[in-house]
A and B are shown apart, each in its own frame.
Chain A
């Protein structure tokens, strides 16, 4: 395939510092009523001056170290000037000329192989306020909420190294996991804590042609980033093949029509009149301080993924799930640490338990399931006290009620599962009620065994051990003595 996309990402991550980047307002304001986390500084009152929050620098350096960047011992702030009501000062404080870190890389797993994505730069800036256009009760108005204004952002810009939308997705995920591991960003895309702008152009290597570069702005989930890029790739590819001229523009993803729509062409864009911020001195970092921060960097997701695969014999996909769900991973490590079989634990966690958690939007640490109870389940199954099937049906209850397995089973009226007499009784009844099928089986239509098992399971509400039922039915139909 000679036609390839070339993708680069610009990611904005809200830093989890307690206070905003340049004032002492709380930055934990996502659910707060509008304009309750503001001060003279972050609403741009005349005469106020920015004061840099030291933790922002620390977090930025952590990110830069995790992304293998060259950290500039001297970096500085600049102003990006433009008018918009959510921008209180008429400019945004950012790092344009001298960012805090440059020339890094991040290793990602995509399509089953590892790939190194180069990072062009990492820099600190401040977030803007939020505009609420024409709310239902006041359609003629626009409201502005400045709670978000001034929250510290870290912008990460990649080189155009990503070759597929899938890789873009993988990069975002790896970056989010890295930032979560570092504890510097919540990574909640739906809350806007992580935002992505993607740049894409399409190349025809055979003919040496390339389309204009398109920027896709503000997509709020990994999946939509991938979808938007896929859509844009097809659109640009078609244009390239038909010889149609493409324009450099900014587009947005429209979930309704599952397509991208043009927002503005690059020609209409502002020039931002960047110049050095005179109110803030340079950030000067000492090597020794950077080295001290380096020692606080925990094991990073990619390293961890490799370790999980090696240590527990997990597949890449399994290890990745544990990376994405750190609470599950903690549980897994604790369970295996207590000597439970890796295979059983992982099957339970990544199977029924994860499914149920997802349905209820829960994390495992916020449920009543403990390692001890999972151990109990595994043991009961191993010793035949219950069946996998039944245990699965119990999972939702085990997650929400702090009662013992025994109690739960008796409460649900499913205590007879291991009672072979009961199984035989039901099986006999079923066989007697279906003489024609029983006859057909005896004449060689052995596939009907499953039919009978199904009937028994239905009758017993699925509470029986399938293997026990299978043995019993087989014996009955083949006329073997089953009582003894």
Chain B
């Protein structure tokens, strides 16, 4: 089997066995990535092979990894998929990057994303749209679409993304890989360009649940530079192979609505059957407040984003249009530096925070967020895990959907985890309409270990993947044409 088809775990094992050297691995991935990326356009920029240092075989993780372009890697450009930062070079490493580098991993390239992570398709990238490796005419999902496509296509064994409302999980589902959003506060956000600070989390995109646990273990930990991180040491691999018999699973009726794609629905109920076969208790429950989650999310995120993105004013760095007056310079730079979706959300955010709307919008959304959070905690007193499809639909065709509201709905099942700070995973649950689709699992805050245990049990029983044999979207012949 080609080197690039291996998971993180089997690559590390291969190095220990001396089957491969870190150099072999790096070169194999590099060669494959260049070829594959010409089809899928996952990367915004890759360093030259000569610029990448060869990992040390003695380190715990001597592998290359890709990074979503809103996470700082020292000395490398960080564009956030926007012209506003087209020339911005990071002066420091994000904590997540520093932790990976300390484990011996080497940075391998920056991946495409919706501008400032606002979107769920990569169509809002200022530069280009990434293609779904399973069908070049379809979106990979977003906003971490570049990272997900790169992992799915075998360009890298794993990648980092950020998740504010499903940005890791949705593209993972669309590309047939594993996307993890840790409990809020587990992973440092230092060095992640903030979209909505109270919802953002960095997480890994991997091919298997065990890989995600392995990378998660490296990322998790209290960081002095991020005051919102918590000191909750955990080992995601501990007990990951345990039996899940007796676990109580809930399916929220509202997350499998009438409007869902029938093929996705069928795949989901098949997945639920597997939990039953594993002697889990599966119950359907009502969660009427869930219907307010997406509205709440779309008030809070633009509000925080309007403030977080205020620093991109052309004064100190980034895109600038020279003008006679300062006000004009700032206004013009922002006018032309940002894309339509970013401006739309910032206008909305500024509106929600305005004196006249603060109580009726922002304040109310905060109240609903607390209400939803209370209700979710009640649910978790009775259940261990919430199951749902990650997305109600298979990925859109790139040309298909141009309505922002339809895109907002692609996050319907994923925003809850961000609003409440839950740990969540999207893992492959088969195919619908010839495209991968994802199973979405959520546990109560800081129950990340249990989440991985349950997800791993499903992954094993579902039988889509034999050990270390994960399906790749394209045949080699096709690729090397």
Contacts and interface: CB of A to CB of B under 8 A. Distances in A.
Nearest to B351: A273
B316 A88 contact: yes
Given A49-B227, A281-B228, A40 B92 contact: yes
Nearest to B224: A51
Given A51-B225, A88-B311, A90-B310, A275 B94 contact: no
A40 to B, nearest CB: 6
Contact of B192 (A45, A47, A79, A274): A47
B415 to A, nearest CB: 16
B225 A44 contact: no
A144 B315 CA distance: 10
A62 to B, nearest CB: 23
A91 B315 contact: no
A279 B198 CA distance: 7
Contact of A52 (B227, B304, B316): B227
Interface string B221-242: 0001111100000000000000
B330 interface: yes
- Grouping DSSP codes into helix (H, G, I), strand (E, B) and loop, the A interface class, with mixed when no group exceeds half, is loop
A85 interface: yes
B310 A81 contact: yes
Given A40-B92, A47-B190, A47-B193, A91 B310 contact: yes
A112 interface: no
Interface string A266-289: 000001011100111100000000
A142 B327 CA distance: 13
Contacts of A274: 353, 358
Contact of A49 (B70, B190, B312, B355): B190
B226 A49 contact: yes
B330 A91 contact: no
A4 interface: no
Contacts of B85: 46
Nearest to A142: B326
Most buried by B among A46, A89, A144: A46
A43 B310 CA distance: 13
Given A49-B225, A271-B354, A278-B197, A81 B307 contact: yes
Interface string A34-53: 00000010011111111110
Contacts of B225: 49, 51
A81 B362 CA distance: 15
Nearest to B196: A278
Contacts of A51: 224-227
Nearest to A89: B311
Interface string A45-68: 111111110000000000000000
A41 to B, nearest CB: 9
A91 B326 contact: no
A44 B316 contact: yes
Interface string B70-96: 111000001010000100101110100
Contacts of A278: 196-198, 228, 304
B354 A47 contact: no
B418 interface: no
A306 to B, nearest CB: 43
Interface in A408-453: none
Interface in A111-147: 142, 144
A279 B94 contact: no
B227 A279 contact: yes
Contacts of A88: 311, 316
Interface size class, chain A: 20 to 34
B303 interface: yes
A91 B88 CA distance: 21
B310 A83 contact: yes
Interface in A264-316: 271, 273-275, 278-281
Contacts of A40: 91-92
Given A278-B196, A281-B227, A47 B311 contact: no
Contact of A90 (B226, B311, B317, B358): B311
Contacts of A79: 307
Nearest to A22: B227
Nearest to A131: B326
A88 B330 CA distance: 13
A273 B227 contact: no
B227 A48 contact: no
Interface string B317-344: 1000000001000100000000000000
A51 B193 CA distance: 16
Contact of A45 (B91, B189, B350, B353): B91
B227 A47 contact: no
A48 B94 CA distance: 9
A273 B317 CA distance: 24
Nearest to B226: A49
B228 A89 contact: no
B120 to A, nearest CB: 22
A374 to B, nearest CB: 53
A85 B198 contact: no
Interface in B207-228: 224-228
A85 B193 CA distance: 20
A142 B330 CA distance: 14
Contacts of A44: 311, 316
B111 interface: no
A50 B354 CA distance: 24
B132 interface: no
B22 interface: no
B310 A279 contact: no
Contacts of A85: 313, 315, 326, 330
B203 to A, nearest CB: 16
A247 B71 CA distance: 49
A46 B312 CA distance: 9
B453 interface: no
Contact of A89 (B192, B310, B350): B310
B83 to A, nearest CB: 14
B85 to A, nearest CB: 7
A279 B94 CA distance: 16
A50 B308 CA distance: 13
Contacts of A83: 310, 313, 330
B255 interface: no
Nearest to A86: B315
Contacts of B316: 43-44, 88
Given A46-B85, A46-B88, 4 more contacts: A47-B190, A49-B225, A273-B350, A273-B354
Interface of B: 70-72, 78, 80, 85, 88, 90-92, 94, 189-194, 196-198, 224-228, 303-304, 306-307, 309-313, 315-317, 326, 330, 350, 353-355, 358, 362
14 contacts: A45-B92, A46-B78, A46-B80, A46-B193, A51-B224, A81-B310, A83-B330, A85-B313, A90-B309, A273-B306, A273-B358, A278-B196, A279-B194, A281-B227
The 5 closest A-B pairs by CB, nearest first: A90-B310, A278-B198, A278-B197, A273-B353, A46-B193
